[in-house]
Amino acid sequence: MISATLTRDNMHDMEYLAELARARRVRVQYSILYNSDDPRVQPMIMSESETRATAHEILALKRRGFPIYYSDNVLLTTIHWPAAHDKKFTKTDKEFSNQFRLVPCYHGKLKYQIDADGRVVECWATDYAHAPNIKNLGIAEAMRRVNRDKACYHCTLMANNEHNAFMHMSPRNLWNIFRIQVADSLKLRWKRTMPAPAASPTRLSDAEAAAAAASLRAAAARAKAGGIAPVKKSGLVVVSPACAEDPGIPDHRAAGQ
């Protein structure tokens, strides 16, 4: 799979990445860079209109047959998001979010993220420094507290929403993931049944190439009265005696050249 984070700098490279994925027989998964507190990142963040246009283009690429990872409803959620794209809906927004039939979030309910330092969070977007830590609380209690304090119930992060829609047991997403798994399994089986590529010539070490070149120069010197055509033996290409006699002409010692 090709994974790419789309920013204002590279948002026009989506089709190139889709073509690359199709040529390599893999899928492409795009992410969109949203708000960040890092001032170095601010100029790279797309505007609201650019974000919606980008999601629309991803959907268009999928419908043109490119191997895009996401389901249609996940992309449509981003296109028709009823607020700023860095806005996360909480439990108090339930009536509003139900009106737009947003994908419900199961991070912090069925899926958790445990960081290397022991903190347990819903996902990377809620990676708080004060998050419950398994070192102090144990795994079960840390997960219980994350679930109890869960604040985000809907968001527009496409990778998260693909998982959320699957955990929501959405028939459309179940079918989409089934198709992806079957298609990718067939590709793997096809690759396993493909004949192995012909072995490339073994590359000589520098010492072996130098010894072979010296031997052949000596032979060329003995036969310098007549022209000697390039000879290829054991992956080594030898040029005409002129190269052997003139130290200013480089010898072709790399195998297969």
pLDDT tens-place string over residues 36-55: 677 888 888 888 889 889 99
Q: Is the pLDDT of residue 191 over 70?
A: no
Rounded CA-CA distance 4/159 in Å is 12
Residues 39, 67: one domain?
Answer: yes
Residues 37, 157: one domain?
Answer: yes
Residues 65, 176: one domain?
Answer: yes
pLDDT at residue 224, as a whole number: 62
Is 147 part of any domain? no
Rounded CA-CA distance 251/257 in Å is 11
Q: Which domain holds residue 212?
A: 206-245
Is 24 part of any domain? yes
Residues 42, 13: one domain?
Answer: yes
DSSP the chain: -EEEEE-TTTGGGHHHHHHHHHHTT--EEEEE----S-TTTGGGSPPHHHHHHHHHHHHHHHHTT--B-S-HHHHHHHHT-SS-TT--B-GGGHHHHHHTTPPPP-BTTTB-EE-TTSBEESSGGG--TT--BHHHH-HHHHHHHHHHT----B---HHHHHHHHHHTT-HHHHHHHHHHHHHHHHHHHHHHHSPPPPPPPPPPPHHHHHHHHHHHHHHHHHTTTS----EEETTEEE--HHHHH-TTSPP--STT-
Looking up tokens 């026009």, which residue turns up? 12
Q: Residue 234: pLDDT band by 50, 70, 90 thresholds? A: very low
pTM of the model: 0.58
Percent of the chain with pLDDT over 90: 16
Is 170 part of any domain? yes
Residues 174, 229: one domain?
Answer: no
Is 229 part of any domain? yes
Between 217 and 145, residue with greater pLDDT:
145
Residues 101, 22: one domain?
Answer: yes
Is 254 part of any domain? no
pLDDT at residue 117, as a whole number: 92
Average pLDDT, the chain: 75
Residues 97, 173: one domain?
Answer: yes
Is 131 part of any domain? no
Residues 182, 233: one domain?
Answer: no
Between 218 and 59, residue with greater pLDDT:
59
Residues 26, 48: one domain?
Answer: yes
Residues 36, 80: one domain?
Answer: yes
Residues 215, 88: one domain?
Answer: no
Q: Is the pLDDT of residue 29 over 70?
A: yes
What is the domain count for the chain? Answer: 2
Summarize pLDDT for 127-152 with one digit per residue, the tens: 788 899 999 999 999 999 999 988 77
Is 39 part of any domain? yes
Q: Residue 17: pLDDT band by 50, 70, 90 thresholds? A: very high
Is 186 part of any domain? yes
Residues 37, 101: one domain?
Answer: yes
pLDDT at residue 39, as a whole number: 81
- Angstrom CA distances, 21 to 1, 18, 128, 129, 222, stand at 8, 5, 35, 37, 55
